Structure 1
Amino acid sequence: MANKLYPLGAQKILGAVNLSTDTIKAALLSDAYTYSAAHEFLSDVSATVLDTAVTLTSKSITGGVFDAADAVFTLVDPGANAKFVVLYVDTGVAGTSSLLYLVDTATGLTMTTNGGDITAQWDNGANKIFSLV
């Protein structure tokens, strides 16, 4: 599978979501997760979330391309297989936090967690985290 926008998240990016000002978080998902285009909210994937999500910082949008500082997940519990990073708009409630983007190509994925930090290193190429163009 390649990185992809959730269809319902893409609709929100084109309307209700403001990537610059909304709280966008990244969460690690285990290899137990199976992508579905019907997934809309964090509650749809919460059974496979590993550890605590991190808020994206240094967000930027240039020419339809979204970027942010690499996400660092600290002291991730050992013994799981981290396979994906999911980006979502955090409302504080899993049932209303909209899924935006699923990443499986960040440097280091898939990996077995060992109790240390995990850095999701975003692409430094033209598409950065994702591009709408």
Structure 2
Amino acid sequence: MGIVTALMAEAFDPAYGEAWTAGQCLGILSLSGVWLTLASIDGAPAGFALARSTLDEAELLLLATTPQWRRRGVGGQLLRSVMRDAAARGACKLHLEVRAGNAAIGLYQREGFSKTGERRNYYRGHDGRAIDAHSFMRLLDNFER
């Protein structure tokens, strides 16, 4: 879990409190249908994706790319890997939730995700400010497996 917690510390802005604790990560990884994908470049960690599937649906729980590898294809590769893995596990849909204003929304939209909902004032930043959560979904039936 050391690599994942180090990547979260580097990738997630602490103002939003989005990083999970090591205990949360270990707890979710012990559940059935959960998988972790790590990305490395020249042997150095560059990002990760954490996802889960249940029956015919999957959810992207976390996606992180270190700042030096953002906008260089790492996040897209991780996301497509999750989509392939989810489809291989029998999922027809992939869901995710993201903080409003997060730059990753552009990635999700480019990869075919559509906004399906919004939770007003769902997240709380460290300063107490309320932030909306946006739900997205992508069908996997036309994804190359």
TM-score (structure 2 length as normaliser):
0.27
Higher strand share: 2
Q: Which structure: larger Rg?
A: 2
Between 1 and 2, higher relative CO (CA 8 Å, sep ≥ 6) is seen in 1
